[in-house]
Amino acid sequence: MAKTKLISPHGSDELKVLLLEGKERDAELKRAEGLPKIVMTTRETGDLIMLGIGGFTPLEGFMGKADWKGVCQDMKLSNGVFWPIPVTLSHDKKLDAGAEVCLVSGETNEIMGTMKVTESYQIDKDFECKHVFGTTETEHPGVQKVMAQKDWNLAGPVKVLSESYFPKEFKGIYQRPAESRKIFEEKGWKTIAALQLRNPMHRSHEYLAKIAVEVSDGIYIHQLVGKLKPGDIPADVRVKCIDTLVENYFDKERVVQGGYPLDMRYAGPREGLLHAVFRQNFGCTHMIIGRDHAGVGNYYGPFDAQEIFHNLWDGALECKMLPIDWTFWCYKCGGMASMKTCPHAKEDRLFLSGTALRKALSEGGEVPAEFSRTEVLAILREYYAGLKDDEKVEVKLHGHATGDAKVDKKK
């Protein structure tokens, strides 16, 4: 039998790591200090770090116009490689080709990298938003960010000089693709499913993860530690929730946890595809796509993100989708179930809207253990207790309302 070999990175035989280290980094950093500064948003900074650690293999920098247009329109780079979402850098003026610039984080003022400009171009933002988000409505938090971009996009290969605060602030969670790959190799895993998380992990997420464990060698619980929309639960709280869940309810040998530095774009289906692309770079063979993956509000149908995977051309993407239906506890089934496995009525199922959960957690109401493990609820209660009243208002669990609380339903 052939020796176990991990899945190749996307569109490349090896990870394209653009992060410099040691002396090479020192020299480039010194050089950067003398270059004109471009200030990046958190989304651009997150993208740059992903370029640095090889999470965006095979990209070598921010996209030029041909790539941008191909990606928006056909999900295809100009070299034919599949890519679902533009990775671009904006600036308020045109720069000449050949210009060298220093890339600075607008959040921390740290020098993050350098770029050799190959192209400055203007884009039709409506065109991008329509293709990528399916909407141009500025209430959409992803559209908002695109519309707020400056007038020019700068393209070119990058050298990355820092991973910002992520390695320190999310120590033990933040991970490079080379690190997760090493762990998978050491474990001898061949089939690995990735679970995308940006919300606290309740029993429905646990169920997704456990189905994946049943049918794969292991699960990669891969959490977003970049920026969400205002009011979402912060990453450190979410990390604690996952930790306690893994500690108490998983075979730890079957779970690897990791965090990645991107901002949410809330691009729904397109972002689901991007999630699979970079999970492949992290070494995963499967990407779990559940209900309303990477969605927000009611912009996407609950299973649009599954549908889009079915419509890719052959060979577009090696990492396969593991589609799972809408999951919940069913009192008649006497267990976790999904719309695919449970035949019972709505009244037999436990649904909790974000509003009801928020209210219960912040006002001390009961939340059934069939919705969320008591250990997880305790952490969330503590977090809500520490919030000021005006901070509580914005907190939302999901874009789609999931029905009313049924906290008094007994088994």
Q: Which among 338, 266, 273, 263 is positioned nearest to 309, based on CA atoms? A: 273
Q: Is 311 in the site for its own copies (CB under 8 A)?
A: yes
Token code pair at residue 364: 């001390």
Catalytic member of 43, 176, 181, 198:
198
Instruction: Report the distance separating Cα 278 and Cα 260, nearest Å.
Output: 10
Comparison of 284 and 337: residue with beta carbon closer to its own copies = 337
Candidates 90, 114, 199, 338: give the one binding its own copies (CB under 8 A): 338
Q: Is 188 in the site for its own copies (CB under 8 A)?
A: no
Candidates 369, 385, 387, 393: give the one binding its own copies (CB under 8 A): 369
Instruction: Report the distance separating Cα 51 and Cα 390, nearest Å.
Output: 37
Q: Is 370 in the site for its own copies (CB under 8 A)?
A: yes
176 is catalytic: no
CB 158 within 8 A of CB 18: yes
**Beta bridge partners of residue 121, listed in sequence order:** 153
Catalytic member of 43, 153, 181, 199:
199
Comparison of 1 and 186: residue with beta carbon closer to its own copies = 1
Comparison of 188 and 234: residue with beta carbon closer to its own copies = 188
Q: Is 252 in the site for its own copies (CB under 8 A)?
A: yes
The gap from C-alpha 182 to its chain's centroid, in whole angstroms, comes to: 21
Which residues have CB under 8 Å from 71's CB, separation 6+? Answer: 63, 77, 83, 84, 85, 86
Q: Is 248 in the site for its own copies (CB under 8 A)?
A: yes
Instruction: Report the distance separating Cα 127 and Cα 117, nearest Å.
Output: 24
Candidates 213, 237, 378, 407: give the one binding its own copies (CB under 8 A): 213
**In the complex, least distance from residue 210 CB atom to its own copies, rounded to whole angstroms:** 5
Comparison of 311 and 347: residue with beta carbon closer to its own copies = 311
The gap from C-alpha 229 to its chain's centroid, in whole angstroms, comes to: 13
Which helix or strand (DSSP H or E) is residue 351 part of?
none
Give the burial string for 242-253 (b: 16+ CB within 10 Å, else e): bbbbbeeebeee
Number of residues that bind its own copies (CB under 8 A): 30
**In the complex, least distance from residue 1 CB atom to its own copies, rounded to whole angstroms:** 6
Q: Is 81 in the site for its own copies (CB under 8 A)?
A: no
Q: Is 310 in the site for its own copies (CB under 8 A)?
A: yes
Instruction: Provide the annotated active-site residues.
Output: 198-199
Residues that bind its own copies (CB under 8 A): 1, 210-211, 213-215, 248-252, 254, 310-311, 322, 324-325, 333-343, 369-370
